[in-house]
Amino acid sequence: MPQHLDISSLISCPEKSPFAEALAEATTILVVPNRCSSIYTRMWCVYEAFLAQKKGKLICTAVRSHLRRAAVAAAWTLPCLPCGAAAAWATHAHHHSKESDAVSLVVWVLMALSLVIDRSFLRRTINWLGTLGAAYCLAAGDLHKIHDIAYFLAAEVDRERLNAYDEEAVNLLQHFQGSVRLATCSRPEDQAAIWGAIGSEVSSVDRT
């Protein structure tokens, strides 16, 4: 659709606009946030989200790829491996020694904490310490600790994944004032028509 031209005649009735007709044929709706302003401060975006919800469409939110950041996070964790091994060799630790058993217990506690703590900085610290401890036990002869090392590396990747989701959630709310009632449109007549189409369902739009 030539959006750079005068398309007022095509969108004068929101329910019959090309946007609405295309959405009716779609099975999935992709929401793409931006860093400048919440898309839900824009009237047509609000209307499209309203239609998608009303028609029971699957709504997905685009998220910036976190693979590079996850790889960097995992790479920063790797130096814990030689440090933990060096500590085991320096203390002459061996499997089932008091030192090794104590560190193994700490590793299990750190694994549990990594699951329940959601603050990114704390999770990263826990994952580093867990990798360090698991490497200590591995060097002492506990071969099962290789699974714990894999867990903490995966936890670092997951931490970055959640960070990416949190950033997109912030972008979705950028300049959003709590209600779509405050959304704006470049053409007042379009705004009036869209509000007429949404009618009394404004509160349900806010909730969704």
Q: Quick one: CA torsion of 170, 110, 139, 79, rounded to 10 degrees?
A: 30
pLDDT in tens, 5-33: 455 566 667 777 877 888 888 888 888 77
Across 93-104, average pLDDT: 86
Q: Tokens 């349900």 appear where?
A: 204
- 170-200 per-position pLDDT tens digit: 766 666 666 766 777 777 777 777 877 777 7
Note the pLDDT of residue 118.
Answer: 84
Mean pLDDT of all residues belonging to the chain: 82
* pTM attached to this predicted model: 0.66
Show the DSSP H helices in the chain as ranges.
8-11, 18-25, 43-54, 67-77, 80-90, 98-116, 120-139, 145-173, 188-198, 202-207
